[in-house]
Structure 1
């Protein structure tokens, strides 16, 4: 059964740290909410389906350990993260996905709802270069069932992201 995504602006109090950060920065964005299905096998694919958006425009936020430093990777849900490319993008040698509990503690978000914006501890961020091919992309707004749509340039600026080819099919 298809889920309907609702569009809304979420600029007031009671938003997530991600939407509060966007509002404070004066960024242009749209919040999309949908009913999250805990049985769905992929948070990102569920979001793309619910919003009726191509999986190439919906980006997942992954936390990796690059040479001992937590690093955020933002890649399309249609692909995978190239860990070697991520390490190279930040001048590192080795990277591996971080322990989920450690990622949750560092970001302040739960797995499946980790946003690159408004994190508890600001982590260095790398945005996949494919984002530049789209006028807007969607990333988690800080909880399962909530996405934020914004320009890739705004996302890169607000997170001080390095833009590099870190995704693979």
Structure 2
């Protein structure tokens, strides 16, 4: 009897499966018209015993006013310091990426951009607080779907 291949829900989940990483998917109802995607995830998962600071958002930034993009992963309640992110990446300046450019580069829609399984591999900085939690949540690659990951999955330059 052959084994049945499991179809991954998103490229992020496929990357976790390919890497043998443990994860848990946490779906929630995404409301049409909602644009504060991280806050929506925090509200939806409020009853799960997670602190808002355990839920992370994925932001794409443009470096040195050019077309080079990078990824910043920070807690939902936090505000990204573009200066600190640029410095962590060895660059002089960073701005928020154009949403259309972020979607083209990542392969995900805004509000569902995961730090994993992106179309293009980009330099990534992760807030140092990710290492203080046993597990954190981030987008699994679509609106209304978070994934819980062990802190051991994260590596890279911490920045806030």
Q: Same fold (TM over 0.5)?
A: yes
Q: Is the Cα contact below 8 Å between 1:140 and 1:146 reproduced in 2?
A: yes
Could you list the runs of 4 or more consecutive aligned residues of structure 1 that deviate by over 6 angstroms after TM superposition?
none
* C-alpha displacement of 1:84: 0.2
**Structure 2 residue aligned with 1:100:** 99
Greater mean alpha carbon deviation, residues 60-69 or residues 112-121: 60-69
How many residues align? The count is 151
Distance (Å, rounded) in 1 between the aligned partners of 2:159 and 2:62: 18
The corresponding residue for 1:17 is 11
Note the aligned Cα RMSD (angstroms). Answer: 1.4
**Structure 2 residue runs without a partner (length 5+):** none
For residue 119 of structure 1, give the secondary structure of its aligned residue in structure 2.
Answer: coil
Alignment of 1:143-162 (within 5 A): 143-156=142-155, 161-162=156-157
**3-state DSSP of counterpart to 2:90:** coil
Residue aligning to 2:121:
122
Corresponding residue of 2:62: 65
Structure-to-structure mapping, 1:45-60, within 5 angstroms: 45-52=39-46, 53-60=50-57
* 1:56 partner SS: helix
Q: Decide which structure has the larger Cα Rg and report it.
A: 2
2:25–2:146 CA contact under 8 A, matched in 1: yes
- Secondary structure class of the residue paired with 1:148: strand
Q: Which runs of 5+ in 1 are unaligned?
A: 1-10
Give the superposition deviation at 1:133: 1.2
Q: Distance in 2 between matches of 1:113 and 1:155?
A: 19
Task: Quote the Cα distance in structure 1 between the aligned partners of 2:94 and 2:35.
Answer: 25
> Compared with structure 1, are the counterparts of its residues 22 and 14 closer, same or farther at alpha carbon in structure 2 (3 Å cutoff)?
closer
Q: Which secondary structure state, in structure 2, belongs to the residue aligned with residue 49 of structure 1?
A: helix
Q: TM-score, normalised by structure 1?
A: 0.85
- Give 1:155 deviation, angstroms: 3.2
Q: Distance in 2 between matches of 1:30 and 1:138?
A: 9
Look up the SS of the partner of 1:80 in the other structure: coil
